Amino acid sequence: MADTLSHIDASGNAVMVDVSAKDVTARIAIAKGRVLMAAETARLIARHGHKKGDVLAIAQLAGIMAAKKTSDLIPLCHPLPLDAVEVKLALADDGDAVDIIATCKTSGRTGVEMEALTAVSVTALTIFDMCKAVDKTMRLTDIRVVYKDGGKSGTFQAD
């Protein structure tokens, strides 16, 4: 683990990290998250019975769009040309959650962890927004990077 924050200079000012000297490499990041909900809400989503439309399809599209806008949302985040963004959603086997997995790929000088996390977060937020009228108990949980590869730091695989 680094002993200093890369986005803070010696004077304590916020800075965008200078990546111009880094090599361009293939990079990938995978993030996951979960939206916990009442079992009836999950059944409504599964039946495509929501009056606002197909919750999972709309949330998937929102996540893909969000990944492309990450640098507009996160201060000091580099704008990246994304080569691929994939968002997968599945109703959990236990019947009371939607599981989200986002994969982002680029060839660049910095990683795509923030894009993958943004995709998962906005996907989860969209599910919440679409279903909040029928379930105010929903919770967004376990949003995290589970895999990244590329660049000098190499591969990270979560436990």
- Taking the C-alpha atoms of residue 52 and residue 153, their distance in angstroms, rounded to an integer, is 43
Question: What are φ and ψ of residue 95, in 5° steps?
Answer: 80, 10
Q: Domain total for the chain?
A: 1
In a domain, 122, yes or no: yes
Nearest in space to 59 (alpha carbons), one of 134, 102, 123: 123
Cβ atoms < 10 Å from Cβ of 3: 4
Looking at the DSSP assignment, which residues form a beta bridge with residue 86?
A: 103
Nearest in space to 66 (alpha carbons), one of 142, 132, 127, 133: 127
In a domain, 15, yes or no: no
What is the average per-residue pLDDT within 7-28? 79
Q: What is the pLDDT of residues 29-54, one digit of tens each?
A: 999 999 999 999 999 999 987 777 89
In a domain, 9, yes or no: no
In a domain, 17, yes or no: no
CATH code where residue 57 lies = 3.30.70.640
Report the alpha-carbon angle 33-37-145, nearest 5. 5
Q: What is the pLDDT of residues 74-119, one digit of tens each?
A: 988 899 999 999 999 999 988 799 999 999 999 988 889 999 999 9
In a domain, 67, yes or no: yes
What are 25's two structure tokens?
């490499």
Which residue range forms the structural domain that includes residue 119? 25-149
Q: Is 129 a catalytic residue?
A: yes
In a domain, 156, yes or no: no
In a domain, 7, yes or no: no
The active-site residue out of 83, 129, 142, 149 is 129
In a domain, 82, yes or no: yes
